[in-house]
Amino acid sequence: MISDIVSKLNALCIVLGSSSPRRQELLKRIGLQFLVVKSNFPENLDKGSYKLSHEYIRETALKKLTDVKTQVEESVHNCRLIIGADTVVVLDGQIMEKPASAEEAKLMLRALSGRRHEVVSSCVVFYRREGDDSWRTEQFETTTGVHFASLPESLIEAYVATGDSFDKSGGYGAQGVAGSFIESLDGDFFNVVGLPIQPLSACLRRIVEANF
């Protein structure tokens, strides 16, 4: 989707506003070269003040990348493209954050067992033209439906014991052994991993063709 414009993109000094190794690997797969700047936003927005989970996810993603943009303005002066995202698991309209303990991870996996949930990503791209300090913004959401097989308690216990649950919304990572939990999937698989590659690539193409 962007193979013919990768050189133009890489010339913009890209920053990925995420320390996620999964997002880094996905961007590398499509040929992008980038610096990594981690957001310091505490992700403490009040979920109760948002009518829809998508609104909370969208605002969190924007706050996270805005913090990265501030850091970039102070230290990476030649950067003209910043990419970031927030990805969460949503079950029955309720957001599942990253588990804080093994017991919380087990509770999440028990709740997901044998049921359908959604993985929602909000992607944000900041960009600025040559000679222009003002940033422009593109933001979009991608939703993937995921149906888990029924998970025996022994499997849940064994998986959580690996430690793979703790940095992932919903307590699982589809790119690893937990991919075997997925019975069916409706939508973008890479979105479940943490970054919807096709819609992001389409967004980057629009930006390059219109501005660079």
Q: What are phi and psi of 20, to 5 degrees?
A: -65, 120
CA separation, residue 44 to residues 41, 49, 77, 84, 127 (Å) = 8, 12, 29, 18, 26
Q: Is 167 an annotated catalytic residue? A: no
- Kind and range of the H or E element at 159? helix 153-161
Those residues with Cβ within 8 angstroms of residue 100's Cβ, 6 or more apart along the chain or in another chain: none
Residue 2 phi, psi (nearest 5): -130, 10
Catalytic, out of 4, 67, 86, 186: 86
What is the DSSP-derived secondary structure letter of residue 86? E
Q: Which residues does the annotation mark as catalytic?
A: 86
